[in-house]
Chains A and B, each alone.
Chain A
Amino acid sequence: MTQQTPNPAHIEYVTRIGDNALILGQRMSEWCGHAPVLEEDMALANMSLDLIGQARMLLTRAGQLEGKGRDEDQLAFLRTEMHYRNLTLCELPNADFGRTMVRNFLFASFQVLLWERLLASSDTELAAIAAKSLKEARYHAQHAGDWVVRLGDGTAESHERTQAALDYLWPYTAEFFAANPTDEAIAAAGIGPAWSELEAAWEAAVVPVLNEATLTVPARTPFKSYGKFGRHSEHLGHLLSEMQYLQRTYPGAQW
């Protein structure tokens, strides 16, 4: 096996995709035992586990690229929040079922586009992860999108709550497409798309569904979030303190 010199942009890019999956998977798993109906409880738990499965593969890959012997567990449980590279959207609280579904729809629609492009990645490991994950993301986008339509175009209360969820979450989606040097280096190396390239296709995927749901798509504002650059909201620390508790308290514990 040849170990090439670590490419920081490559590590950063794979870590970012892995952290998105890990943090949203952890966040969504909070629904386990609390969803409005048993059927959705299982659907949400299944989707969380899909994401955590993706995170395991991606963080394992990031650890290989880094070449310092860190595995998926060390990356998941022993990094502090400023070393996480997930989108801020993924760490926001679940709030109600409507916001959970709107977030899943906005994020899964983005993931679908990203995985489609990563099928052709020059990193063959990443391309293989994309092939597996794309199927999962398509189901997540379908399921959440169907819910967004039913809630948005449902009762007066469900419409109001779903619109409020969209108004709250929409500003955080600007971060998906924020340009940065990592993306440029990755695109140049043929590893994956610069995320800014995905914006038009993402809007073309989500806006018709939001329209069908009778929701008003908010205008873009100057608001910026920076989770993928390691500057997170106050919510990530609380999430990590719960997720990392066991490894922090009993270092090296296994079960």
Chain B
Amino acid sequence: MERKEWPLWEVFVRSRNGLDHKHCGSVHAPDAKLALQVARDVYTRRQEGVSIWVVQADHIVASDPDAKPELFDPAEDKIYRHPTFYQLPDEVNHM
């Protein structure tokens, strides 16, 4: 018997308005509409979210783990790129 696996979908949930969608896991589902529904059932059953994105995992282009040295190491000594030389007012959140 032929068994076809359902595609894998990556699930992103926004926990409340104003915040970003965050990756929280993945589900298997036959299509996009049901992927959203099962993501709702698996990842938002304890009020974790107000919005869900699902993306078929095949459609995500990922960086190569072996390329870490050339991609990420050069940033190591560029301390001037961090906005740590400013005094932020207390009212500014989420920086």
Residues of A within 8 A of B (CB): 37-40, 42-43, 46, 142-143, 146-147, 150
Contact = CB atoms under 8 A, between A and B. Distances in A.
B52 to A, nearest CB: 13
A43 B38 contact: yes
Contact of B37 (A37, A38, A43): A43
B38 to A, nearest CB: 4
A42 B43 CA distance: 10
B42 interface: yes
A150 B38 CA distance: 15
Interface residues of B, number: 13
A209 to B, nearest CB: 14
A39 B30 contact: no
A29 to B, nearest CB: 15
Interface centre among B6, B30, B37, B45 (most CB of A within 10 A): B37
Contacts of A38: 28, 42
B33 A42 contact: no
A40 B45 contact: no
Contacts of A146: 33-34, 37
B45 A46 contact: yes
23 contacts: A37-B6, A37-B28, A38-B28, A38-B42, A39-B27, A39-B29, A39-B38, A39-B42, A40-B38, A42-B38, A42-B42, A42-B45, A43-B38, A46-B41, A46-B45, A142-B37, A143-B37, A146-B34, A146-B37, A147-B34, A150-B30, A150-B31, A150-B34
